[in-house]
Structure 1
Amino acid sequence: MAENATTLHALIRAGADDATALSSPGGVPLTFGALRALTDRTIAALNAQGIGRGDRVGIVLDNGPEMAAAFIAVAAGATSAPLNPSYKADEFNFYLSDLNAKLLVVAEGSETPAVAVAEKLGVPVVRLRPTPEAGAGSFTLAFTGAAAAPAAKGGPAEAEDIALVLHTSGTTSRPKIVPLKQSNVCASAGNIRRTLAFTADDRGLNIMPLFHIHGLIAGILAPLSAGGQVSCTPGFNALKFFGWMSEVRPTWYTAVPTMHQAILARAGRNKETIEANPLRFIRSSSSSMPPQVMKEIEDVFGAPLIEAYGMTEAAHQMASNPLPPRPHYAGSVGLAAGPEIAIVDDEGEPLPAGEIGEIVIRGNNVMAGYENNDKANAEAFTKQGWFRTGDQGSLTPEGYLSLTGRLKEIINRGGEKISPREVDEVLMDHPAVSQCVTFAMPHDKLGEDVAAAIVLREGQTLVEKELRGFALERLAAFKVPAKILILDEIPKGATGKLQRIGLAQKLGLV
């Protein structure tokens, strides 16, 4: 086991040569020995083209084993910059320019607009050709044009080199670059491995997008760091999930709450599959899991749902509920699981247990700072070296963390501060409600007022007035949504998260 690996090159030494590292539904398994050989070949090929440690390589590939393998192989010798394949040309133009990419990896035959953008920017493009017969994720790279001078800094990356660069979501401002060192990424993978007690016997079913920190670290690197196996799907598909479950026989999976809810909606007709493939646990992260959904998942799957708390700047995991027999609680994201966690007031002073304030973290999985952004760094870090998460919450005396919301998402209704999560939880208690997201909408006198968008359970009917009455019995009147929209689907972000910021505009309430 790569117990204290500080580089990706060391992390993938965890598995036995002939043990499966990556697989895919219907595919030939790729062993750890083959993954290590593929990584070394890729580093050598990049070095020969002048790409070495610290050079940024944009990766635009669909979800699947090739994306997982390419991320690892590139990041082990250069800097991986995975980009969402569904971006439009102007988005690729922004990200490739902002990253100062030295190379772009795309699939052979891919029609992605990223290619034309790279050519316009003078960024060389390399085509990745999958060789699935050699194992899931196996590939060769086809470079065009004359070879550049060999890389100045070749060979495997070192602990302080940047392994991965991602942008923040930028819901309210220009996206910021988050550079994560090899040591940050490996520390986070190790934290998750210990939290979830991964071993070489674990098999994960990855349905998370691999341009996102959750999928890359929790879905791929953490289980590999224990010598475990990951089966990489083409991406989330609720209709195919139970077929994959039957074939892969996973011991666990990780997802965001909206994915869990979509899986839950189809669980009733897949009881035999669930019983035939008992899971050790199910993990949820990246946005809050409604307690009602957590209970339903645990009842249906007969497995603990382990909610965790992560963000890109911390290379994903910050806190997690523990595995049984230790308790895990609905509405809590658990105990510090890697970095130190504290709650501070507006002045940055620590608050005692039970008090609500801003959540701050520090640890070896946390980035050193945003790239080329002194203003953001001055705001993000305290004098004591704590990173300000922008989330509000409180700690119990036992150390369990509860979130009350993003500071930016707290609704300020004429001076009354309202946590959208509190309203969500009340509305989710109505038996007809399947999904809910509460958000701020502009108000000419109060500044902001409370609004909510909901999706009903299949076959249920409900009118806005009835749901407002239900909420009024359980919430102070000022917290009851002034407007409730009943929708077939709530708009989601690229990673499947429900996003409160900007929702009023998207839904025409501005």
Structure 2
Amino acid sequence: MIFDIRHPPAGTVRDWIDALADTRGDNISHVFPDTDTTISWAELRDQAAMIAERLAGMGALRGESIAIMIPNGREAVLALMGALYGGFRATPINLAAGAEAIGHAITHSRARILLCDHRQRMLLDEALKGRDAAPVVVELGADFDWPASAQRRALDRVHSDDDALLMYTSGTTGRPKGVLHSHASLLAGGWNTALAHSLTPQDRAMCVLPIYHINGLCVTILAPLLSGGSAIVCERFSASQFWQRCQTHGATWFSVVPTIISHLLHGAAEPSATCRDAMRFGRSASAALSPEVHSAFEARFGIPIIETMGLTETAAQILSNPLPRHGKRKVGSPGRPIGNEVVILSPDLQILPHGTAGEIAVRGANVMRGYLDDPAATEAAITPDGWLRTGDLGRQDAEGFVFVTGRSKEIIIKGGENISPREIDEALYAHPAVVEAAAFARPCPRYGETIEAAVVLHEGSDPDPNELMQLCEMRVGRFKTPDHIHLMSELPKGPSGKIQRLKLAEMTTSTPKGESHRTG
């Protein structure tokens, strides 16, 4: 049951943990820099089995939700693996979502048992206030505080088509939906990453993204499970500690988001020669990476960045550029399909020819089984012939590379013309002082919508906002140049670090045309 790059994975997460514990039990599976601890595959299996058996003793049934409110670290990995090992439906709760969304997820998932870090108890109590949900809370201090009822009980057999994961979407355009994955689709998602990046047992991932997000979970936790490698799991990203931790703990690759790449690029910390030599690649996902930032990062650090694309509904990765020396990368594209199929659909759901713009759709073993208790949303998302509609707009060239033009819900319609905010983002990122940028729409009585943008500047810089306006006009033309540019200390982000563009209009105040407005 050890990773074979030629075939999609069979079995369940339990099968893969058992196989690695039996064949490579003494090898380190996870490193936890925040507590300076490690765990081996054999220890991981023993702890996961113990947690699963205690959950079964508390009455947890195969396929039911076990909610998890634990930040990245040893206990988060063990809780996740324990729930999966037991055949329960792991339900990681987004700790950054706010009490309302957290309360909805716990209630909607019907979780009767919740594993909670003691530091999250106040947030949990606030989230459940006024709700019918009353899960039994197993609180984590130095260890899990199991109730007397948690006597270990033998586990049921787990099947590949059983529910494995329930993960809630960010809910930026409505109430969060519960995405359901089976063991088969979850493993397929991890395999897509391992396949695309040719991961081996010698590879060690640097995980700084939360594992209650699909990128952190499938890419940096499940892909090493399938390759027999290992992962460094940090509680959070730290620009000042990132490179040192990569070197100290032997990272050979990392998975981050564009905002982190931009912060590393503008930061003072440098990787050592040893770190650069060990690092095979960095991986960017969850949002479009500006070509200027991409090129500048590689020029400064000498580490190739592989741009990719994935969704919660596809257990992360659907597209990836090839590794250096494995093929031609195309900067500005998140790559081509690996491990699944991708096409471009017309509004009437017909497959469009290469070069034609439309909606990106994906089909494969990694696609979700549906949204929990929402057959209408599931039917709207998955076509009768199995294509998942991503809501992303783009085109595909003759070599299979996809170029994303934007989210259908984020497109700015000014004077009847559809404008991709990504065009404007990339123009702003071309300025050396810009660390984060996002264009967005604001209602306008004259044009229907007008364009504004928000930026975060490199510490110590203070360019004239007119410079940014002029840069945009030079690159995208006057019609697409923002009417206002807001200078902010931070842009709103989701759990993966992806900028939440649709929140910007409510967070900013319109100002006279051509002026900047400093917020935060």
Match of 1:136 in 2: none
Identity %: 34
* Between 322-331 and 390-399, the greater mean CA deviation after superposition: 322-331
Whether the aligned pair in 2 keeps the contact of 1:11 and 1:186 (CA below 8 Å) is no
Q: Rate the CA distance shift 1:84–1:199 in 2: closer, same or farther, 3 A.
A: same
Residues 366-390 of structure 1: per-residue CA shift (max 9 Å, x gap):
0122122122123212232211000
Does the CA-based 8 Å contact 2:95-2:102 persist in structure 1? no
Asked whether the equivalents of residues 54 and 162 of structure 1 are also in contact (C-alpha less than 8 Å), the reply is: yes
AA matched with 1:16: R
Matched, 1:81 2:82: no
The letter for the 1-side match of 2:310 is G
Once residues 118 and 471 of structure 1 are traced to their aligned partners in structure 2, the CA distance between those partners, rounded to angstroms, is 46
Check the 8 A contact 2:451/2:481 in 1, yes or no. Answer: yes
CA distance in 1, matches of 2:98, 2:454: 28
Deviation string, structure 1 residues 15-56 (Cα, Å, up to 9, x no partner):
611111011126332111111121222221111111131111
Q: Residues 207 and 475 (structure 1 numbering): CA distance in 2 closer, same or farther, change over 3 Å?
A: same
Q: Is the 8 A contact 1:43 1:155 kept in 2?
A: no
Which AA in structure 2 matches 1:280?
R
Amino acid at match of 2:430: D
Structure 2 CA distance for partners of 1:406 and 1:27, relative to 1, 3 Å = same
State yes or no: 1:196 paired with 2:197. yes
Q: Per-residue deviation at 1:109?
A: 6.8
Please say if 1:121 is aligned against 2:126: no
Distance 1:270 1:304, change over 3 A: closer
1:91/1:175 CA distance change after superposition, 3 Å: closer
Query: The residue matched to 1:394 in structure 2 has which SS?
Result: strand
1:43 aligned residue: 52
CA distance in 2, matches of 1:462, 1:187: 47
User: Across the two proteins, how many residue pairs are aligned to each other?
Assistant: 498
Paired residue secondary structure (1:354): coil
Q: Counterpart in 1 of 2:64?
A: 55
CA distance in 1, matches of 2:63, 2:241: 39
- Deviation of 1:189 after TM superposition, in Å, equals 0.7
In the alignment, which residue of structure 1 is the partner of 2:497? 496
Could you tell me how far apart the structure 2 residues matched to 1:88 and 1:409 are? 23
1:142 matched to which residue of 2? 145
Q: Which residue of 2 aligns with 1:453?
A: 454
Whole-angstrom CA distance in 2 between matches of 1:376 and 1:452: 31
Query: Following TM superposition, by how much is the alpha carbon of 1:180 offset from its aligned partner in structure 2, in angstroms?
Result: 0.7
> What is the CA distance between 1:108 and its match in structure 2?
5.1
Question: What is the aligned partner in structure 1 of residue 110 from structure 2?
Answer: 100
Partners of 1:242 and 1:273 within 8 A in 2: no
The 1:116/1:472 distance shift into structure 2, 3 A limit, reads: closer
1:358-409: CA deviations, max 9, x gaps? 0011111001221221221232122322110000011110001110000111
Give secondary structure in 1 for the equivalent of 2:262: helix
3-state SS, counterpart of residue 318 of structure 1:
strand
Q: Which runs of 5+ in 2 are unaligned?
A: 512-520
- Structure 1 residues 399, 61: closer, same or farther in 2, change over 3 A? same
Deviation at 1:437, TM superposition (A): 0.8
Structure 1 residue runs of 5 or longer lacking an equivalent are: 131-139
Whole-angstrom distance in 2 between the partners of 1:478 and 1:434: 24
- Describe the shift of the 1:90–1:450 C-alpha distance in structure 2 as closer, same or farther (beyond 3 A): closer
One-letter amino acid matched to 2:146: F
Deviation for aligned residue 1:158: 1.5
Q: Distance in 1 between matches of 2:96 and 2:414?
A: 37
The answer to whether structure 1 residue 284 and structure 2 residue 284 are counterparts is yes
**Which residue is 2:320 aligned to?**
320
TM-score normalized with structure 1 length: 0.92
Secondary structure, counterpart of 1:238 in structure 2: coil
Q: Distance in 1 between matches of 2:249 and 2:443?
A: 48
Alignment of 1:480-495 (within 5 A): 480-495=481-496
Label 1:430 to 1:220 Cα distance change in 2 as closer, same or farther (>3 A).
Answer: same
Q: What amino acid is the match of 1:323? A: L
**1:89: Cα distance to partner?**
4.1
Query: How far apart are residue 471 of structure 1 and its match?
Result: 1.9
Q: Please give the per-residue CA displacement for 1:142-201, whole angstroms capped at 9, x wherever unaligned.
A: 3225469979xx435321111110111111111111011111100111111111111111
1:361-440 mapped onto 2 (5 Å cutoff): 361-440=362-441
Q: Is the 8 A contact 1:125 1:143 kept in 2?
A: no
Q: 1:467 to 1:199 in 2, by over 3 A?
A: same
Residues of 2 paired with 1:225 and 1:186: CA distance?
Answer: 8
**TM-score scaled by length of structure 2:** 0.90
Judging changes above 3 Å, is the alpha-carbon distance between structure 1 residues 149 and 111 closer, same or farther for their aligned structure 2 residues? closer
Q: Alpha-carbon deviations, 1:391-437, whole Å to 9, x = none?
A: 00111100011100001111001211101111111222233333211
Deviation at 1:318, TM superposition (A): 0.7
Q: Secondary structure at the match of 1:424?
A: helix
